[in-house]
Amino acid sequence: MNAIISASELASDLAGTNPPVLLDIRWQLSVAKAAGEPPFDGRAEYAAGHIPGAVYVDLDQELASAPGTRGRHPLPDTASFGAAMRRAGVFADRSVVVYDGGQGWAAARAWWLLRWAGHPDVRVLDGGLPSWEGPLETDAPPPAEGDFTPEPGAVQLLDADGAAALARSGVLFDARAGERYRGEVEPIDRVGGHIPGAVSAPTNENVGTDGRFLPAEELGARFKSLGATEGTGVGVYCGSGVSGAHEVLALAVAGIPAGLYVGSWSEWSADPERPVAVGPDPQ
């Protein structure tokens, strides 16, 4: 199963006899609160216009639990996540397509969570809402209650110790911007730098200027050049398990399975006992 879907393919599927459940996951990481700017409001964006039939899902409230020692976007409570997905109309035997405002991070978080929870057929709209050329709607009738019940463990989940071990035994990709990896800047977390042994692989290098993923062959060549060779265990982390999900998605497009360290740097750096590496060298 392909992990992504084009806008034209989605339009065709939505017009078919068994259309997918469509989830709108618009979200942005905002560090502008100190400047007095209002936070991004995904629900308001959804209300202003969304792909017909889409249901809004709140990343912070429904795809994560409260921030704390496990990071800024820890895994949601399994029962709460299942309830949220059923409210959104997710069925175990019906395909799901998720999209966001174009960056792809939030949609990938929803894709990864549903896959981890055992849903067999989830795809991300490649390029997000900007790639959609059809009409938008503002109506939001409640969907029929779904029946999806999470069964966690379908894809690999890494904790801090597992990520540290994989950085030594395989390859652990850091999906954040290079300057954060090197420790030159850190706008959010306690300290800058990276997990010792991790390899810098910014997720924005997996897409073109239009926000769509590079061809699978190009992605495969990129990841292999960074150490994801055949037979090597692969993992990903980022700041809080959101952009890292996008990198796991890019790896899936390339045909490379990878685990996600959901706690990511926000969990790792909060523990002063965890080692921190700085500079361009993984070690």
Cα→Cα distances 63→57, 72, 113, 114, 233, Å: 8, 12, 8, 10, 26
Mean predicted lDDT score pLDDT of the chain: 95
Give the residue ranges of DSSP H helices in the chain.
7-14, 42-48, 59-62, 78-87, 105-116, 160-169, 178-182, 216-225, 243-253, 264-268
- Is 110:63 a contact under the CB 8 Å cutoff? yes
Per-residue pLDDT at 39 exceeds 90: no
**Least confident span in 149-153, 186-190, 200-204, 222-226:** 186-190
Give the pLDDT band of residue 28 (cuts 50, 70, 90). Answer: confident
- Is 56:42 a contact under the CB 8 Å cutoff? yes
Per-residue pLDDT at 35 exceeds 80: no
- Which strands sit side by side in the sheet containing 171-174, from one edge to the other? 157-158, 259-261, 234-237, 171-174, 199-200
Q: Under DSSP, is residue 207 helix (H, G, I), strand (E, B) or coil?
A: strand
What global pTM score does this model have? 0.95
With tokens 């992605």, the residue in question is 219
Cα 99 to Cα 118: distance, rounded to the nearest angstrom = 19
- pLDDT at residue 138, rounded to an integer: 97
- pLDDT at residue 38, rounded to an integer: 76
Please give the span between the terminal C-alpha atoms of the chain, in angstroms, as a whole number: 36
With tokens 């690999």, the residue in question is 156
Cα 85 to Cα 79: distance, rounded to the nearest angstrom = 10
Task: Please name the amino acid found at residue 273.
Answer: E
Cα 107 to Cα 88: distance, rounded to the nearest angstrom = 15
Task: Please name the amino acid found at residue 119.
Answer: H
* DSSP β-ladder status, 157-158 and 171-174: unpaired
Active site residues: 238
- Is 257:235 a contact under the CB 8 Å cutoff? no
β-bridge mates for residue 56, sequence order = 24
